[in-house]
């Protein structure tokens, strides 16, 4: 292991143990920093203290351009990798491994601002109507969809829920659901009647059927066909399958339901800071992109409906 790889390993341990970053985040940083180490090894640089801004900038260009057998990355992916590099170097400075951060003033690739794609209320209803609530997996999928759309939770947050996290809230209309977001940041979100009903039906009529198939029953709220905790990928597949059966004509992911949750709240008059809290965004500027979605929707309605709009 080179000196650079040793500091990278220490940084990843810091992310996991001290920052409390999710496994998904740590895995993404590990991939990005492995690319960085490979690039620097080609330049015969194996110590973090001697890395210069020009090398960080060259790494960014290398990511975008690609090389033989490796396609270039999209601006968003290259920007994410450079963000990981900048965070890594900041750690190295704090840890006394380097005197300065060579990535501090390196410009990241410009990204076009993409508006989140939200479903209409009618499309969401069609999606929620798909699961067959006479079967165990159908009851599970109904609970999954209602939780995602009804709370705006991330798929990782819903898949991480245990029965004890939610069972006590089912009979209390004013109770909130405790979620742990990025960096293990805790927040409480209301649990609406549709989500409470779907989860209650799943717990009483669906979960016992799938749990009976488990070799080692566990506390997970949502289970797969073998009785183990439902994974993010399996949840993604269940949502994609429901969207296909609903014949929505668009790609639907767990994040689509989160976007729809936020957009429909703002369309209904919710304050952006309330939506920020419900989504668990650290900054209101992250949430404000949804106001652009609703503004665009208003413009479309105006152009379509007003006789002097054009």
**Domain of residue 210, CATH code:** 1.10.443.10
Structural domain contains residue 150: yes
Do 37 and 151 reside in the same domain of the chain? no
Domain count, the chain: 2
- Does the annotation mark 117 as catalytic? no
258: left (phi over 0), alpha (psi -120 to 50) or beta: alpha
Which residue in the list 11, 29, 36, 290 is annotated as catalytic? 290
Which residue in the list 89, 258, 259, 264 is annotated as catalytic? 258
Structural domain contains residue 60: yes
Which residue in the list 205, 245, 255, 297 is annotated as catalytic? 255
Do 145 and 82 reside in the same domain of the chain? no
CATH number, domain with residue 69:
1.10.150
pLDDT given for residue 7 in this prediction: 93
- Does the annotation mark 29 as catalytic? no
Do 146 and 245 reside in the same domain of the chain? yes
Question: Which of 94, 111, 133 represents a domain boundary (last residue)?
Answer: 94
Question: Which of 53, 75, 94 represents a domain boundary (last residue)?
Answer: 94
| Residue recorded with tokens 């740590």 | 26
10: left (phi over 0), alpha (psi -120 to 50) or beta: alpha
Q: H-helix or E-strand containing 187?
A: strand 186-190
- Does the annotation mark 182 as catalytic? yes
Q: Is the pTM of this model over 0.75?
A: no
Structural domain contains residue 101: no
Backbone angles phi, psi at 188, to 5 degrees: -110, 135
Do 22 and 84 reside in the same domain of the chain? yes
Structural domain contains residue 103: no
Do 133 and 82 reside in the same domain of the chain? no
- CB atoms < 10 A from the CB of 61, how many? 11
Q: How far apart are CA 175 and CA 72, in angstroms?
A: 48
Backbone angles phi, psi at 256, to 5 degrees: -60, -40
pLDDT given for residue 115 in this prediction: 57
Which residue in the list 35, 80, 89, 154 is annotated as catalytic? 154
User: Up-side HSE of residue 144: CA atoms within 13 Å toward CB?
Assistant: 37
State the distance between the two ends of the chain, measured CA to CA, in whole angstroms.
Answer: 65
Structural domain contains residue 102: no
Q: Which of 145, 133, 132 is nearest to 257 (CA)?
A: 145
Structural domain contains residue 307: no
Do 152 and 251 reside in the same domain of the chain? yes
Do 159 and 228 reside in the same domain of the chain? yes
Which residue in the list 108, 182, 187, 297 is annotated as catalytic? 182
pLDDT given for residue 6 in this prediction: 92
Do 87 and 150 reside in the same domain of the chain? no
Backbone angles phi, psi at 187, to 5 degrees: -150, 160
- Does the annotation mark 185 as catalytic? no
pLDDT given for residue 297 in this prediction: 55
Do 57 and 144 reside in the same domain of the chain? no
User: Contact 138/171 with Cβ under 8 angstroms?
Assistant: no
Structural domain contains residue 128: yes
Q: Which of 164, 165, 160 is nearest to 178 (CA)?
A: 165
Q: Which of 51, 29, 49, 31 is nearest to 40 (CA)?
A: 51
pLDDT given for residue 302 in this prediction: 55
Per the structure, the complete domain to which residue 31 belongs is given by 3-94
DSSP helix/strand/coil, 190: strand
List per-residue pLDDT tens for the chain, 310 residues long: 788 999 999 999 998 888 888 888 889 999 999 999 998 888 787 788 899 999 999 988 888 887 656 677 788 888 888 999 999 999 999 999 999 999 988 887 766 555 567 889 999 999 999 999 999 999 999 999 999 999 888 898 999 999 998 877 777 777 678 888 776 777 888 888 899 999 999 999 999 999 999 988 899 999 999 999 999 999 999 999 999 999 988 889 888 898 898 888 888 887 778 778 777 766 666 566 666 556 555 565 556 655 655 5
Structural domain contains residue 111: no
pLDDT given for residue 59 in this prediction: 87
Do 194 and 249 reside in the same domain of the chain? yes
Which residues, at least 6 apart from 28, have a Cβ–Cβ distance to it below 8 Å? 80, 84
Which residue in the list 35, 140, 196, 281 is annotated as catalytic? 281
Our measurement of the distance from residue 270's CA atom to the centroid of its chain's CA atoms, rounded to an integer in Å, reads 22
Do 133 and 255 reside in the same domain of the chain? yes
Q: Which of 162, 181, 149 is nearest to 246 (CA)?
A: 149
Do 88 and 214 reside in the same domain of the chain? no
Backbone angles phi, psi at 70, to 5 degrees: -135, 110
């Amino acid at each position: 292991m080179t000196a650079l790889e040793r500091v990278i390993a220490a940084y990843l341990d810091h992310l996991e143990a001290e920052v409390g970053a999710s496994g998904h985040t740590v895995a993404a940083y590990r991939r990005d920093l492995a690319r960085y180490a490979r690039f620097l090894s080609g330049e015969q640089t194996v110590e973090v203290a001697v890395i210069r801004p020009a090398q960080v900038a060259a790494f960014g260009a290398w990511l975008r351009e690609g090389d033989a057998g490796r396609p270039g990355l999209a601006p968003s992916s290259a920007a994410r990798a450079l963000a990981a590099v900048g965070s890594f170097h900041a750690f190295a400075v704090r840890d006394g491994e380097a005197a300065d951060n060579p990535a501090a003033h390196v410009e990241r690739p410009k990204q076009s601002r993409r508006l989140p794609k939200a479903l209409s209320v009618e499309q969401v209803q069609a999606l929620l109507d798909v699961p067959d609530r006479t079967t165990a997996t159908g009851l599970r999928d109904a609970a999954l969809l209602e939780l995602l759309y009804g709370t705006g939770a991330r798929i990782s947050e819903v898949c991480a829920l245990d029965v004890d996290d939610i069972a006590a809230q089912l009979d209390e209309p004013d109770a909130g659901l405790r979620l742990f977001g990025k960096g293990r940041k805790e927040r409480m979100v209301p649990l609406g009647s549709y989500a409470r009903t779907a989860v209650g039906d799943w717990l009483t009529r669906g979960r016992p059927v799938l749990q009976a198939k488990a070799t080692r029953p566990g506390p997970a709220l949502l289970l797969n066909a073998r009785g183990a905790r439902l994974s993010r990928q399996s949840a993604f597949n269940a949502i994609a399958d429901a969207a296909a059966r609903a014949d929505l004509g668009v790609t639907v992911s767990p994040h689509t339901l989160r976007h729809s949750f936020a957009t429909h709240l703002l369309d209904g008059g919710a304050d952006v800071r309330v939506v920020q809290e419900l989504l668990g965004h650290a900054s209101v500027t992250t949430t404000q992109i949804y106001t652009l979605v609703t503004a665009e929707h208003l413009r479309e309605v105006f152009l379509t409906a007003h006789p002097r709009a054009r």
